[in-house]
Structure 1
Amino acid sequence: MEEAEDDAAAIRDCSIRLLARREHSRLELQRKLEARDFLRGDIAAVLDALEWEGLLSDERFAEIFSRTRFESGQGPLRIRADLQARGVDSEIIDRVLELVDDSWLVHCRAAWRRRFGVAPADRREWSRQARFLSNRGFSAEHVRRVLDAVAEDDADMGG
């Protein structure tokens, strides 16, 4: 019995150290603990306790993660995929991405402006710019709307 308590204390200590560095999703933390050869059953019990205490939160992790990725120029599709890969529930992802939903088109245009700044001159350049924005995680609708708008702006300015 004492050995199990020691294992739980070691798992908790390790978890707290990892969480002190940065937020983790439950799945990320579980994987890191498993890599340190802690037993899965012991890990689950400790993670349940940390969630109950509010020290581990997939929602808080998702908010911080998505804000950081948003600020670095990534779009909602990329952020969603990265959060899913980290084991965050779809409902949490939906809520978190909704918080910045109105900003995605503006954000897509800003990413385009930083990288290109000049409307595509031909279909090949349009495809290249669209690929860049898609790879950043913006939807086809966002990409089309941004590239259509910059082409229209360019035409209005006599370009």
Structure 2
Amino acid sequence: MEEADDDAAAIHDCSIRLLARREHSRLELQRKLEARDFMRNDILPVLDALESQGLLSDERFAEVFSRTRVENGQGPLKIRSELQARGVSAEIIDHALELVDDSWLVHCRAAWRRRFGMAPADRREWSRQARFLSNRGFSAEQVRRVLDAAAEDDADTGS
């Protein structure tokens, strides 16, 4: 019985240290604890307790994660995929993406401008720029609109 209490205390302490560094999703934290050779049956009650105390929150993790990724120029598709891989539910992801930003087209254009700044000169360059933006996590519609607007701006300036 005392050994179980010691394990729970060790898991709790390790969890607190990890959470002090940055937010984690429940699944992420569970995986990190399992990698430290703690048993799943010992981990789950500790995670439940941390959630009930408000120290572990998938909602908070998703919001912080999303904001950071948006600041780094990533789009909603990539952010959604990364959050899903970390075990965050679709409802929480939707909510986090709504809280973070709804002007994805502006972010897509900013990412394009930082990387390229000039409209694609030919189809090959258009494809290269589109791939870059798609890999950043922007939708095909967002990419098309940004590149079309860049071409129109380029035509308007007479370049």
One-letter code aligned to 1:154: D
How many residues align? The count is 159
Q: Distance in 1 between matches of 2:149 and 2:100?
A: 21
- After TM superposition, the structure 1 = structure 2 runs for residues 12-51 of structure 1, keeping only pairs within 5 Å, are 12-51=12-51
Query: Residue in 1 aligned with 2:67?
Result: 67
Q: Distance in 1 between matches of 2:51 and 2:148?
A: 46
Q: Distance in 2 between matches of 1:101 and 1:47?
A: 30
Q: What TM-score comes out, normalization by structure 1 length?
A: 0.98
Query: Residue in 2 aligned with 1:84?
Result: 84
Aligned-pair CA distance for 1:147: 0.3
Whether contact under 8 Å (2:11, 2:33) holds in the other structure is: yes
Deviations 1:42-65 (CA, angstroms, capped at 9, x unpaired): 100000000000000000000000
Query: Residue in 1 aligned with 2:129?
Result: 129
Q: Distance in 2 between matches of 1:149 and 1:5?
A: 62
Aligned-pair CA distance for 1:98: 1.5
Counterpart secondary structure, 2:137: coil
Counterpart secondary structure, 2:43: helix
One-letter code aligned to 1:47: L
The unaligned stretches of length 5 or more in structure 1 are none
Aligned-pair CA distance for 1:102: 2.5
Whether contact under 8 Å (2:7, 2:42) holds in the other structure is: yes
One-letter code aligned to 1:90: A
One-letter code aligned to 2:61: F
Q: Distance in 2 between matches of 1:117 and 1:57?
A: 39
Q: Distance in 1 between matches of 2:100 and 2:19?
A: 25
Q: Distance in 2 between matches of 1:12 and 1:66?
A: 26
Deviations 1:3-53 (CA, angstroms, capped at 9, x unpaired): 111110110000000000111000010001001111101100000000000
Aligned-pair CA distance for 1:101: 4.2
Q: Distance in 2 between matches of 1:73 and 1:30?
A: 29
Q: Distance in 1 between matches of 2:32 and 2:2?
A: 24
Whether contact under 8 Å (2:63, 2:99) holds in the other structure is: no
**Identity rate, percent:** 86
Whether contact under 8 Å (2:66, 2:100) holds in the other structure is: no
> Structure 1: which 4+ aligned runs deviate by more than 3 Å?
none
Q: What TM-score comes out, normalization by structure 2 length?
A: 0.98
One-letter code aligned to 2:126: W
Query: Residue in 2 aligned with 1:55?
Result: 55
Q: Distance in 2 between matches of 1:18 and 1:97?
A: 25
Whether contact under 8 Å (2:83, 2:93) holds in the other structure is: yes
